[in-house]
Structure 1
Amino acid sequence: MVAVLARFLVPLNSLLAAGGARVSAAAESGKARHPLHAMVAKELRLWVATPTYLMNTAVGPALALLAAVSAAVAGPQALASAANVPGVDHDALAGLVSAAFPWVLGLCVAMTPLSASSVSLEGSARWVAQTAPVPSAAIVRSKVAANLLVAVPASLVAGVIASLSLAGGPADAALMVAAPVSCGLLASCLGVLLDARRPRFDWASAYEPVKRSANVAICVGAGVAASFAGGGATLLAGPCAGIAASMAMAALSVLAWKAASRVSLQDR
């Protein structure tokens, strides 16, 4: 996976430079851009232009897509055979694998949040955000939006692909999409809340806030716990309970986002 990302890093950076040229041309022509759009574009440019950031946060969505395609091709019976749990009926095991799979996708999406290090990565350039003529809430929204622009499309595509093979009914198909989307939403909002409250600007390499940050560790841990809780609810009470767990995660995400919006970034 790292090799694939590295292979396409140079073309991505070329596209980034081309995008900057197009933005400059648009500015010269007098075409106005919405501040949120500009800030989200800036976050995505930072993501693409920072190899450590890109390769460590793109892995989760990429794994979700890979897992969905593999499951769709292999089918639940093959997955049950690969699990090979002694003393468990093969058909029952296939059903358990299918029921838990939405939360496998959720785990993949939640374990590499962009937002958990997005404030810290401002580093010595944080004065730009501090002096920007926009409220802190708008900056927070841009960081969450950038994370969701990566996580949600991957979640939707992975969920739809996996549901073609593993979903036993409409509720299962809905959960196959809802679980990764809710996990991605929770990781995005919780990550920016943690990093806005306790950013780390004294780093010498982007590796430190991306891989060695307590904010990232806490956010990933919360995502893992949420995925296991959702999977447990689904296995014990069925897909409707899993959908309820997804809705609860969405509600917690809104609370985290509102809390992050109240953090002032100008005095950091």
Structure 2
Amino acid sequence: MAVLNTGLGVVLLCLFSIFLLVMSLEKLGSYAGIDDMNGFLSQYAPIVVGALLSLSCPAASSISLEGKNIWILQSSPVSVRTILNSKLAVNLTLHGFGYILAIFAIITRLKMSALQIMSLLLVPIAYSLFTTVLGIFLNKKYPNYEWENEMMVVKQSIPVIVSGIVNMLVVAVPVLLNWFLSFPIMPTIWVAAIILVISASILYQKMCTSKFI
């Protein structure tokens, strides 16, 4: 249930991919108010896919959802890294379904350069990794095991709210730099992706050094 409630972004990404496969670009563009849909998506598809993946982060509530049963994990002989990796894997698997369908749909329907295809393949992965690691990092730092309704944890907890705000910012910044300061979109999203991967790596190493959940 928690995964379903936090999987909105992946659901939207799958719907977008299906529409892209079954509708003409002209018709899709007319609905979206975009004249050159191929040109728009060729440039912005990496950030669009990354943004929708960022909306889905069950990792931000996965530790808190253990609730009063958290003692089972805390007393288990399994390492903290292994426990965290298992929770990260759930989030990344969820993202993987939407990612694969989106990549297939976009590459099938759009005329893209080699650089654009490479950006489409790699940039969303950076957003997915950052979203997932940030979510689990915040939930580990600010857990809430004393809940009565799991919806409080899934939708209203500090880790979920903070990770949502941060994810919106990391999506918006490259786009705003392109729109208002005329930064070229491809180099901008590549720089953003590199920063996100480095940040995710730092957060991951930091939370795995802890000896307790």
* 2:26 corresponds to 1:56: no
Q: Which runs of 5+ in 2 are unaligned?
A: none
* Structure 2 match to 1:239: 186
2-structure distance, mates of 1:256, 1:65: 29
- Show CA shifts across 1:231-268 (max 9, x none): 446773143442332232122111121122123435xx
Q: Cα 1:228–1:73, aligned 2, differ >3 Å: closer, same or farther?
A: farther
Q: Which of the numbers 171, 175, 182 marks the counterpart of 1:227?
A: 171
Tell me if the contact between 2:38 and 2:110 (Cα under 8 Å) persists in the aligned partners.
Answer: no
CA positional deviation for 1:189: 0.2
Higher relative contact order (CA 8 A, sep 6+): 2
CA positional deviation for 1:167: 4.6
* Structure 2 match to 1:161: 105
1:237 corresponds to which letter in structure 2?
P
Q: Which runs of 5+ in 1 are unaligned?
A: 1-50
- Show CA shifts across 1:127-181 (max 9, x none): 1111011222221122112211221342133123212223521111222232322
2:50 corresponds to which letter in structure 1?
G
* Structure 2 match to 1:127: 71
- Show CA shifts across 1:168-215 (max 9, x none): 211112222323222211111000100001100110011111011111
2:6 corresponds to which letter in structure 1?
T
1:260 corresponds to which letter in structure 2?
M
CA positional deviation for 1:72: 3.7
* Structure 2 match to 1:151: 95
Tell me if the contact between 1:152 and 1:181 (Cα under 8 Å) persists in the aligned partners.
Answer: no
* 2:83 corresponds to 1:139: yes
Tell me if the contact between 2:38 and 2:111 (Cα under 8 Å) persists in the aligned partners.
Answer: no
- Tell me the percent identity: 22
What secondary structure, in the 3-state scheme, does the structure 1 residue paired with 2:124 have? helix
Q: Which of the numbers 164, 175, 181 marks the counterpart of 2:125?
A: 181
The root-mean-square deviation of aligned C-alpha atoms, in Å, is 2.3
2-structure distance, mates of 1:112, 1:225: 15
What secondary structure, in the 3-state scheme, does the structure 2 residue paired with 1:134 have? coil
CA positional deviation for 1:84: 2.8
1:152 corresponds to which letter in structure 2?
G
Q: Which of the numbers 196, 206, 211 marks the counterpart of 1:259?
A: 206
Alignment of 1:92-111 (within 5 A): 95-111=39-55
1-structure distance, mates of 2:111, 2:129: 22
* Structure 2 match to 1:19: none
2-structure distance, mates of 1:116, 1:159: 25
Tell me if the contact between 1:110 and 1:183 (Cα under 8 Å) persists in the aligned partners.
Answer: yes
With normalisation by structure 2, the TM-score equals 0.86
Q: Which of the numbers 62, 67, 70 marks the counterpart of 2:19?
A: 70
* 2:60 corresponds to 1:113: no
CA positional deviation for 1:102: 2.4
Q: Name the stretch that deviates more: 210-219 or 138-147.
A: 138-147
What secondary structure, in the 3-state scheme, does the structure 1 residue paired with 2:23 have? helix
Larger Rg: 1
How many residue pairs get aligned? The number is 210
With normalisation by structure 1, the TM-score equals 0.70
2-structure distance, mates of 1:167, 1:249: 27
Q: Cα 1:244–1:166, aligned 2, differ >3 Å: closer, same or farther?
A: farther
